[in-house]
Amino acid sequence: MSEDRNVLGGELELCGTDPMTGWTRQGCCTTGPDDVGSHTVCAVVTEAFLAQQRAVGNDLTQAHPGFPGLVPGDRWCVCASRWRQAYEAGAPTPVVLAATHERALEVVPLEWLREQAVDVPDSPGGL
């Protein structure tokens, strides 16, 4: 994990372990060549986000092998394109910047992620 960077340029932090998230199910939004969906945005899912995703055929509330199903408040590494889709539909969900992989920036502008950030760090330069 130490070589993975977050969208702020720092070391990628843990996203969530209850439920255990991440493409590799290690709790981090790491990614690799097999992760075609780019599960790189550490989201704190809301009911509005889950409903919007369900409406477009991506029901994240239904459990299946290897996936527990999500409830509002869960932290989950979501696909960058799905997060963008929800944002553009008016149903963005909060994000944890320190746990969002830098590869998310290939799909989602940093300013959008900052608008929805729940972990705004104290820094001299601000965000």
Domains, the chain, ordered by start = 1-120 (3.30.56.110)
Q: Which amino acid is residue 7, in one-letter code?
A: V
pLDDT-based confidence at residue 125 (cuts at 50, 70, 90): very low
Look-up: residue for tokens 């994990």?
A: 1
What's the pLDDT score for residue 108? 98
pLDDT tens digits, 71-94: 999 999 999 999 999 999 999 999
In the three-class reduction of DSSP (H, G, I as helix; E, B as strand; rest coil), residue 127 is classed as coil
* Contact predicate 4/24, CB 8 Å: no
> What average pLDDT score do residues 48-76 get?
94
Q: What's the pTM?
A: 0.90
What's the pLDDT score for residue 7? 97
Q: Shortest CA distance to 37 belongs to which of 95, 77, 86, 89?
A: 77
Task: With a cut of 80, say whether residue 1 has pLDDT above it.
Answer: no
Please state, in angstroms and rounded to a whole number, the distance separating the CA atoms of residues 57 and 95: 22
